[in-house]
């Protein structure tokens, strides 16, 4: 039994003697996590924030007469605008009301035939 105890003490002795090495090893252990977060930020989070900002600017820039496409694929011309509702003319005399955030993109003038 005493043989096992002395070998256990012998195994922990170098780690205790190192002292300041423990801080460096813990920092090196956290380095991959920090690097993964940085890569995740630049690959996923930052582009998503940029897209949200562009979408918000596009929705604020909507004006009467713009040709738009909705998220459902409906193409039309804006005839009336409210705070949260946009009225779109999809055919001659046919109007639809959609929520403002349902507008997916503004089309170039003359897209609708």
What integer pLDDT is reported at residue 7 of this predicted model? 59
Q: What is the pTM of this model?
A: 0.63
Instruction: Count CB neighbours of 68 within 10 A.
Output: 22
Q: What is the pLDDT of residues 53-110, one digit of tens each?
A: 999 999 999 999 999 999 999 999 999 999 999 999 999 999 999 999 999 999 998 8
- What's the pLDDT band for 9 if we cut at 50, 70, 90? low
CA distances from 84 to 7, 69, 71, 111 (A): 75, 16, 15, 25
Q: What is the pLDDT of residues 31-48, one digit of tens each?
A: 999 999 999 999 999 999
Q: Which domains occur in the chain, in start order? A: 2-58 (no CATH), 63-107 (2.30.30)
Query: How far is the C-alpha of 88 from the C-alpha of 100, rounded, in Å?
Result: 10
Instruction: Count CB neighbours of 60 within 10 A.
Output: 8
């Amino acid at each position: 039994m005493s043989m096992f105890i002395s070998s256990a003490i012998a195994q922990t002795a170098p780690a205790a003697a190192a002292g300041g090495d423990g801080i460096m090893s813990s920092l090196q252990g956290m380095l991959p996590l920090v690097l993964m977060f940085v890569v995740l930020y630049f690959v996923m989070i930052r582009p998503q924030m940029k897209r949200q900002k562009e979408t918000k600017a596009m929705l604020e820039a909507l004006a009467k007469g713009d040709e738009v496409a909705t998220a459902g694929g409906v193409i039309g011309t804006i005839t009336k605008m409210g705070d949260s509702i946009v009225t779109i003319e999809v055919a001659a005399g046919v109007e639809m009301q959609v929520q403002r955030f349902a507008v997916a993109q503004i089309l170039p003038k003359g897209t609708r035939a």
